Amino acid sequence: MPTTSEQWFARARAVTPGGVNSPVRAFAAVGGTPRFMESGAGAWLTDVDGRSYVDLVCSWGPMLLGHAHPEVLAEVGAAIARGTSFGTPTTTEVELAEEIVRRTPIDRVRLVSSGTEATMSAIRLARGFTGRDVVVKFAGCYHGHVDSLLAQAGSGLATLGVSSTPGVPASSAAQTIVLPYNDRAAVEAAFAEHGDAIACLITEASPGNMGVVPPEPGFNAFLAETCTRHGALFISDEVMTGFRVSARGQWGVDGAVEGWVPDLMTFGKVMGGGFPAAAFGGRTDVMAMLSPEGPVYQAGTLSGNPIATAAGLATLRLADDAVYARVDEVAATISAAAAEALTRAGAPYRLQSNGNMFSIFFGDAVAGSAVRDYVGAQAQDSEAFKAFFHAMLDAGVYLPPSAFESWFVSAAHDDRAVQQVLDALPVAAAAAAAV
């Protein structure tokens, strides 16, 4: 007798490639049937089979306050009652933009609907502003499915990228230089050779898309300084970290302390409160190049949508110090317990965290020292993760279904939810050790 999730997955595959609308949801890396979720409340998700899970994905980051937060729902409900989209300016857009500008070092912001749109637009703007074409990115950093940003790593110092997906023109990939993360010498070499042609360097402010691989101390400051020296723009992608690792994102953790400012920043996830809202912004003179003020075109029918901006604004306003303190505490408790369970079970691992974002790399190859780049992350044992993932799922804990992802928690993860995770860990750790 197939489960209801299995039945829905079969229907989904008949009408949608792979049965999903974003690939990582398909459980391709871990095997098995993706769970079709019916509802979420606080820290919990309930699937169509009626099973409940403690959610450690949180919609891949946005749900900082947990699912169906009553005050966010009230703001969304009120916004819906006023009408859902007008294609005109609305007041909530201004308020959300003000909230973002207030928390970050950027002067001007443009709202869009996805992180991909934000990075795509930021790259176009950087190219328009500098009159240069080449983009530098790091292997293992994900910035959405923008053609020029899907180029993957080659070996050596500054390898001109080869696209990792069919459908990206070679000419587009050829404008991208892919470097190893945390590698200052590689950055120096790329700028020494191509400095005059480089429009921008884009980096995740603290990578979470190869597992959690934080910048080594001073690395972001070094990137900002290198870009400035060569007349290129420094784009800090905070789609994942923005308003999550702190009220001021990753920049609040390093830039604000070290005294540097990115030329452009991108945001998404938390600032949309679970709705499609994202943003890019930066220096006044750079942003002034943007249409209708300047010649670089960018637009969107649903940009600054009143429902999405109401949800985002409510989320940011509710995210006070107590919220961040709770999210940090939950992350610390769960990550420490996971580490302890794996140690006890004799499963080799490496735990890495950046504030309340964390992930575990499995296997002997990664256990000894820091994972500092994509090559290091790829050395992990995905079979051990798979066994761990399914044991957790069976015990009612929903982890990211891939070893190359951060785990996310929310302020709604109360003691009962945390306890369910802690109770699941020993068996899952034993499963990982048995691989």
Annotated catalytic residues are: 142, 237, 269
Site for ligand PMP in 45-64 (CB under 6 A): 60
Under rule CB under 6 A, residue 143 binds ligand PMP: yes
Q: How far is the CB of 204 from ligand PMP (least distance, A)?
A: 5
What does DSSP say about strands 176-179 and 134-138: parallel, antiparallel, or unpaired? Answer: parallel
Task: Measure the CA–CA gap between 393 and 409, rounded to whole angstroms.
Answer: 16
Q: How far is the CB of 119 from ligand PMP (least distance, A)?
A: 5
β-bridge partners, 127: none
- Per-residue x/- marks for ligand PMP, 272-291, CB under 6 A? ------x-------------
Max CA separation in the chain (angstroms): 64
Q: How many residues bind ligand PMP (CB under 6 A)?
A: 15
Q: Which is nearer to ligand PMP, 119 or 175 (CB)?
A: 119
Under rule CB under 6 A, residue 114 binds ligand PMP: yes
Q: How far is the CB of 60 from ligand PMP (least distance, A)?
A: 6
Residue least distant from ligand PMP (Cβ): 115
CA distances, 423 to each of 40, 391, 403, 415, 418 (Å): 21, 11, 21, 12, 9
Q: Cβ atoms within 10 A of the Cβ of 248, count?
A: 17
- Per-residue x/- marks for ligand PMP, 201-220, CB under 6 A? ---x----x-----------
Under rule CB under 6 A, residue 268 binds ligand PMP: yes
Q: Which is nearer to ligand PMP, 143 or 386 (CB)?
A: 143
Q: Which is nearer to ligand PMP, 114 or 159 (CB)?
A: 114
**Candidates 26-34, 112-120, 217-225, 313-321; binding stretch for ligand PMP (CB under 6 A):** 112-120
Under rule CB under 6 A, residue 115 binds ligand PMP: yes
Look at residues 211, 282, 199, 271 and name the one whose alpha carbon lies nearest to residue 239: 271
Give the DSSP H or E segment for 201: strand 198-204
**Candidates 3-11, 109-117, 281-289, 417-425; binding stretch for ligand PMP (CB under 6 A):** 109-117
Q: Which is nearer to ligand PMP, 239 or 391 (CB)?
A: 239
Q: How far is the CB of 207 from ligand PMP (least distance, A)?
A: 8
Q: Which is nearer to ligand PMP, 213 or 418 (CB)?
A: 213
Q: Which is nearer to ligand PMP, 116 or 356 (CB)?
A: 116
Site for ligand PMP in 334-373 (CB under 6 A): none
Under rule CB under 6 A, residue 44 binds ligand PMP: no
Q: What is the dihedral of CA 327, 329, 333, 336, to 10 degrees?
A: 100
**Which residue spans within 26-128 are E strands per DSSP?**
37-41, 44-47, 52-55, 108-112
**Those residues with Cβ within 8 angstroms of residue 354's Cβ, 6 or more apart along the chain or in another chain:** 206, 208, 212, 214, 241, 245, 250
Q: Which is nearer to ligand PMP, 29 or 395 (CB)?
A: 29
Under rule CB under 6 A, residue 240 binds ligand PMP: yes
Q: Cβ atoms within 10 A of the Cβ of 3, count?
A: 16
Q: Which is nearer to ligand PMP, 141 or 198 (CB)?
A: 141
Q: Which phi and psi (to 5°) does residue 36 adopt?
A: -85, 115
- Per-residue x/- marks for ligand PMP, 371-400, CB under 6 A? ------------------------------
**Those residues with Cβ within 8 angstroms of residue 53's Cβ, 6 or more apart along the chain or in another chain:** 35, 44, 45, 46, 47, 393, 396, 397, 398
- Among the listed residues 128, 144, 273, 274, the single contact to ligand PMP using CB under 6 A: 144
CA distances, 252 to each of 109, 205, 247, 267, 330 (Å): 18, 11, 7, 14, 20
Tokens of 298: 């960018």
Tokens of 329: 């505490």
Q: How far is the CB of 34 from ligand PMP (least distance, A)?
A: 17
Under rule CB under 6 A, residue 116 binds ligand PMP: yes
Structural Rg of the chain based on CA atoms = 21
Q: How far is the CB of 250 from ligand PMP (least distance, A)?
A: 10
Q: Which phi and psi (to 5°) does residue 203 adopt?
A: -140, 150
**Candidates 12-20, 108-116, 279-287, 371-379; binding stretch for ligand PMP (CB under 6 A):** 108-116
DSSP 397-415: EE--SSTTS-B---TT--H
Query: Using CB under 6 A as the criterion, which residues of the chain lie in contact with ligand PMP when the complex forms?
Result: 60, 114-116, 119, 142-144, 204, 209, 237, 239-240, 268, 278
